[in-house]
Amino acid sequence: MAAKMEEGMNIRRIVLDVDKAISKPAVTELAEAICRVEGVEAVNITVTEIDIETVGFNVTIEGENISYPDLVQAIEHTGAAVHSIDQLVAGSRIVEEIKRGRT
């Protein structure tokens, strides 16, 4: 089940863990549905797992004022499912993650 987002938050990037059945939807159908969501400027869908019945994806979406509820609805309408939010960037600009090394 997808997490609830605060209304009015300027979501600029969101990375989702999404699963779909092997047969449907096609990756292009999923991308088209995401691109139709208001505020979405770009999407990157990367296959992370394939098993007998499902395909897992990391879905990175960037834009301005992306509506999380509309995004989840668009994804679920294709027959795919959002499992988790793996990254969220919000505010007036994008802050890149800085990897820290452990000594």
| pLDDT, tens only, 57-71 | 999 999 999 999 999
Mean residue pLDDT across the chain: 89
Whether 76 is a known active-site residue: answer no
Candidates 6, 49, 64, 76; catalytic one: 49
Domain ranges of the chain: 11-90
Domain 11-90 belongs to what architecture? 2-Layer Sandwich (3.30)
pLDDT band at 7 (very low <50, low <70, confident <90, very high): low
**For the stretch 54-67, what's the b/e string if a residue is b when 16 or more beta carbons lie within 10 angstroms of its beta carbon?**
ebebbbbbbbeebb
Which residues, listed in sequence order, are joined to residue 57 by a DSSP beta bridge? 18, 47
pLDDT digits (tens, 9 = 90+) for 26-48: 999 999 999 999 999 999 999 99
